[in-house]
Structure 1
């Protein structure tokens, strides 16, 4: 029997969950969300952070840990549409290939804003703005791109600008909050229903999360150094996340399902 395999995206926002994880009886696999989603559904992973869009589309096949999420109430800072024209005037938008959730959320929000641009999946960063009206970046790419535009780090995160050198920055989580007044859940811990993870693995994840949040400053400094951004920016970025799938987050996940025309019938991990 192969060892259990647990999937994590290679992004700074999951560092508090994985930095102090001590793999005993299981191995950790890092891959972009779209890859992790596919491997989970194929049975190549036993437990994974799965994008909320993938989970909602395949929830009849997947179980859910009841107390884990990667969610935000308000700005997320790492799911950004960088654009040069007003949202309603967008004609051509470059999409990340890493996250189906962010793409689905963008299309939903832009349609409601009256925009129906042509979407093109491609690789690249802000240089794509030379041929597109907007580019969607997520995760570490979005953080680095935003940090590179900042002339300085303001004293308070409330002063972080959304217009920089002719580039507008639309935070999709902020747009979702204005629409619903709810958190947006970007990822959940999911497993195939017929193969729930053993309790010691779930307990190891909980211990790692507890230690990661208790030592968030240390985690932030490490991730800031890895990405080459200011530690204060990374610290604020990480403390903004909600990692426990509390009731507001569940309501946000249900609202996303409803907006997509999908049911919400979660099967939670049996404690």
Structure 2
């Protein structure tokens, strides 16, 4: 059996909605992205859609499953910096960072430090916009917490970090990749191949049946069908050469800014 990290956020539904979680090879373990990052590193799960940044931390030990990711070119809709002031005015102020993400936290730092020359103070806390705004001038939220807060139309500046990244770099942004320890290959190679095939099939089925996915999202968080259709239209759940280029740009900047100790290399398995 392969212990698979199951991310419950709506942006991951096209990965999981049609995946047979009762398959004899699958044991699903539910957690937020940072939880899966830590579990995979600790050997508590075998495979997960982890933060792209976490892959960068462990790239020498991990392999990436091909043609699976959570990516956008531009707007993402669920990685949002809510701010009381414009981005350029955050220098020296305080930003509350979600404790549920690694990729988005470091994307925020790249955008502010590297591109805008803005150096704020940071604190990390649970994802609650009202509580964050009590102690900070801006708040980074991801996933369903970001969507719910944005739907309430708070009286503040709202920055979609996918849009900001595209404006600054011209690149796509990959937020999560499916990864597993390369050490698993020595004894579980065939099982990994089977799981990879099941994940691809589930993704394809979801993308061909998005009405089912959208109905589930409405049940979870509300919102109109058109809102969710527009939300999912911006996502790419594959990982082609164009998306690889954006991912390499992000990981390279993380290294250059000292956020990662070495420059990551993308290694895929099974080879296509």
Q: Which consecutive segments of 4 or more residues in structure 1 shift more than 6 A?
A: none
Deviation at 1:203, TM superposition (A): 0.8
TM-score under structure 1 normalisation? 0.90
Structure 2: tracts of 5 or more residues without a match: 186-190, 256-261
**Structure 2 CA distance for aligned equivalents of residues 203 and 10 of structure 1:** 21
**Structure 1 CA distance for aligned equivalents of residues 129 and 3 of structure 2:** 34
**Structure 1 CA distance for aligned equivalents of residues 254 and 236 of structure 2:** 22
Deviation at 1:249, TM superposition (A): 0.6
Distance 1:45 1:124, change over 3 A: closer
260-269 or 85-94: which moved more? Answer: 260-269
Asked if 1:103 is matched to 2:101, the reply is no
Deviation at 1:124, TM superposition (A): 4.0
Deviations 1:40-62 (A, max 9, x none): 11221111101000001110010
**Structure 2 CA distance for aligned equivalents of residues 42 and 126 of structure 1:** 31
User: Which residue is 1:114 aligned to?
Assistant: 117
- Structure 1 SS opposite 2:229: helix
CA RMSD of aligned residues (A): 1.3
Deviations 1:116-166 (A, max 9, x none): 1110111242212243210000000000111111xxxxxxxxxxxxxx63x
User: Which residue is 1:265 aligned to?
Assistant: 265
Aligned 8 A contact 1:74 1:177 in 2: yes
**Structure 1 CA distance for aligned equivalents of residues 62 and 126 of structure 2:** 30
**Structure 2 CA distance for aligned equivalents of residues 203 and 110 of structure 1:** 39
Structure 1: tracts of 5 or more residues without a match: 150-163
- Structure 2 SS opposite 1:136: strand
Aligned 8 A contact 1:6 1:45 in 2: yes
Aligned 8 A contact 1:144 1:229 in 2: no
